Amino acid sequence: MVFASTRNKELKMSFQKALFQGLSPDGGLFYPCKMPDMTDIIKSFSENENFKNVASSVIYHLLNEDMSETDSKILAERAFPFSPKLKKINDKLHVLELYHGPSSAFKDFGASFLATSMEYFLQSNDKKAVILTATSGDTGSAVARAFYEKKNIDVVILYPKGRISPLQEKQMTTLGKNIHALEVEGSFDDCQKMVKDAFTDPELKNINLSSANSINLGRLIPQSLYYFWAVNQLKKIPEEQQVFCVPSGNFGNLTAGLYAKYWGLSIRKFIASTNQNDVIPEFLKTSVYTPRPSIQTYSNAMDVGSPSNFERMQTLYQNDVESMRKDVRGICIDDDSTLETIRKYNNEFNYEICPHTAVGLKAAEIYAQKHPFDHITVLSTAHPGKFLEVFNKAVGHDPELPLSLLELKDKTKVSEVIGNTLTDLKTILNKMYR
């Protein structure tokens, strides 16, 4: 498969080149030039096909110009020692749990595939890659775990000081070795702009920079895999009733789902559920896209006022908002409703959820009022244990923590505080890699 820039369809690259390039030289994002028809691949899956088999089949079908079928199986085996799980709430509602990986968040799928792919391609030569990534919470912790001790790869993570949960911060700042954490005195949007500007800065060309954000294809493509697995598990549900509700911040997860749909997956509609950072729901209502500074909310990993992947969405729909509306419904959920939903699922279903999952479940409830015959699958993006303060505020006690999070409590944070400009970042990078 060949990939092109969202800003110049003539600027094309292979998956391997786009993987390490991260961002297109013209500042655009890479997207698939053609939408392959994977209908026959989907039909070939058995009803209970395991995730690794689904993943390796889809990966090979997409990337067979860059890797053999055998290598795609090896890659899937190494990248995914964990799997999604489906929890049935009722006949019309399932939750797709994506937090059973090493950092307890859905971004483990993309980060682990990215790290494994990069290591795979770097094995044939002695090149070194520097992963530069911005995070509003979950990306950084997933990337840190996925790339930890990977050969020939260093990771530099930028995160907004004081705006992520203590456990998220510990996941990024306690590993050391090839993982470097930078606290930025600003917002996530500042962090993201610094990373984007670094990729196009001529003074940093000698550093082999690549990105681990969802702007990188190596993160985006594997995020489509659990849609294939989930739809296969729920294949008895008619296509015209199949709806996915996606808690959304930078919109990589939703974009991956849209690609899966256009590759032949039977999904009728997507619900883009956001917190008060509702730039995309507002666009879907008004046809006007107005990025703005992010607002701090309880669902902090979705505090994004300028979603990068909107550019890919616009390219997919050829800037036709009416076509996008046919596939995507935007719903905004406030903090009070988020707490109320965490409390409801804890009390009524004995089910512990994170604030981002709560945003998704509340949006699903709103959608279902007018669409009672649809079946909704809500993506559960993180373990509630990563958001102790919010969960405790909602229900009055802490959720049960997995061992991977319990072990972080006594570890020491190591990070460096920097300003929120490209100059601040360049100073650090030049000190580390020149």
One of 12, 17, 52, 107 is an active-site residue; which one?
A: 107
Q: Do the domain assignments include residue 329?
A: yes
Helices (H) and strands (E) in the chain, counts: 19, 14
Question: In the structure encoding, which two tokens stand for residue 132, read together?
Answer: 């530069």
With a cut of 90, say whether residue 156 has pLDDT above it: yes
pLDDT tens digit string along 187-223? Answer: 988 998 999 899 889 999 889 888 887 788 999 999 9
Asked if the model's pLDDT at residue 379 lies above 90, the reply is: yes
Q: Is residue 1 part of a domain?
A: no
Q: What's the whole-number average pLDDT of the chain?
A: 94
CATH classification of the domain holding 381: 3.40.50.1100
Structure token digits, residue 403: 């061992």
* 169 contacts 413 by C-beta, under 8 angstroms: yes
Average confidence (pLDDT) over 47-72: 94
| Whole-angstrom distance, CA of residue 317 vs CA of residue 64 | 26
Tell me what pLDDT residue 179 has: 97
| pLDDT value at residue 128 | 86
Q: Quick one: pLDDT at residue 409?
A: 81
Q: Is residue 8 part of a domain?
A: no
Region 379-387: mean pLDDT is 94
Dihedral of CA 148/151/154/157: which sign?
negative
pLDDT tens, residue by residue, 19-44: 988 889 898 999 999 899 999 999 99
Q: What is the pLDDT of residues 310-352, one digit of tens each?
A: 999 999 999 999 999 999 999 999 999 999 999 999 999 999 9
Query: CA 379 to CA 31: how far, in whole Å?
Result: 23
Whether the predicted pLDDT of 155 surpasses 90: yes
Domain that holds residue 378: 84-106+219-404
Does residue 389 fall inside a structural domain?
A: yes
Name which residue leads in pLDDT, 246 or 120: 246
Q: What is the pLDDT of residue 414?
A: 95
Considering the domain boundaries, does residue 287 fall inside one?
yes
Residue-level pLDDT at 14: 95
Residue 122 binned pLDDT confidence (cut-offs 50, 70, 90): confident
Answer yes or no: is pLDDT of 407 > 90: no
Residue whose C-alpha is closest to residue 55's, from 113, 13, 95, 142: 113
| 53 pLDDT tier (thresholds 50, 70, 90) | very high
Spell out the SS3 assignment of 160-194: ECCCCCHHHHHHHHCCCCCEEEEEECCCHHHHHHH
Q: What average pLDDT does the segment 121-136 reach?
A: 84
Could you tell me if residue 233 is inside a domain?
yes
pLDDT for 402 = 86
pLDDT per residue as tens digits for the range 265-279: 999 999 999 999 999
Specify the DSSP element, H or E, that contains 274. Answer: strand 269-274
The residue behind tokens 């909107």 is 310
The C-alpha angle with vertex 62 and arms to 56 and 129, in degrees rounded to 5, equals 85
Whether residue 272 lies inside any domain: the answer is yes
Q: What percent of the chain has pLDDT over 90?
A: 82
pLDDT for residue 406? 87
Whole-number pLDDT of residue 280: 98
370 labelled catalytic? no
Q: Bridge-partner residues for 338, per DSSP?
A: none
Residue 397 confidence (pLDDT): 96
Residue 98 lies in a domain: yes
What's the rounded mean pLDDT across residues 362-389? 96
Residue of 383, 299, 301 lying closest to 339 (CA atoms): 299
Supply the pLDDT for residue 204.
94
Q: What is the pLDDT of residue 213?
A: 74
Q: How many domains does the chain have?
A: 1
Report the pLDDT value the prediction gives residue 215, as an integer from 0 to 100. 82
pLDDT of 77: 97
Q: What is the model's pLDDT at position 363?
A: 99
Instruction: With beta carbons less than 8 A apart as the criterion, state whether 33 and 62 touch.
Output: no
Instruction: Report pLDDT digits (tens) over 77-109.
Output: 999 999 999 999 999 999 999 999 998 999 899
